[in-house]
Amino acid sequence: MTDREILTAVLRWSTAYEARRAIGAEKRRNEKVLKEFGDQQFNPYAPTYNESCRVRTAASDASERLTPARRKELAALRELAKVCAKVRVQQRQVDDTSDVIDVDVKLLTC
| pTM, 2 dp | 0.70
Check residue 6 and give its pLDDT: 87
Q: For position 101, what pLDDT does the model report?
A: 55
Contacts of 30 (CB under 8 A, 6+ apart): 55, 56, 58, 59, 62
Per-position pLDDT tens, the chain of length 110: 678 888 999 999 999 999 999 999 999 999 998 888 877 777 777 788 888 888 989 999 999 999 999 999 999 999 999 998 888 776 665 555 555 555 554 555 54
* Domain coverage including residue 34: 3-108
Total domain count, the chain: 1
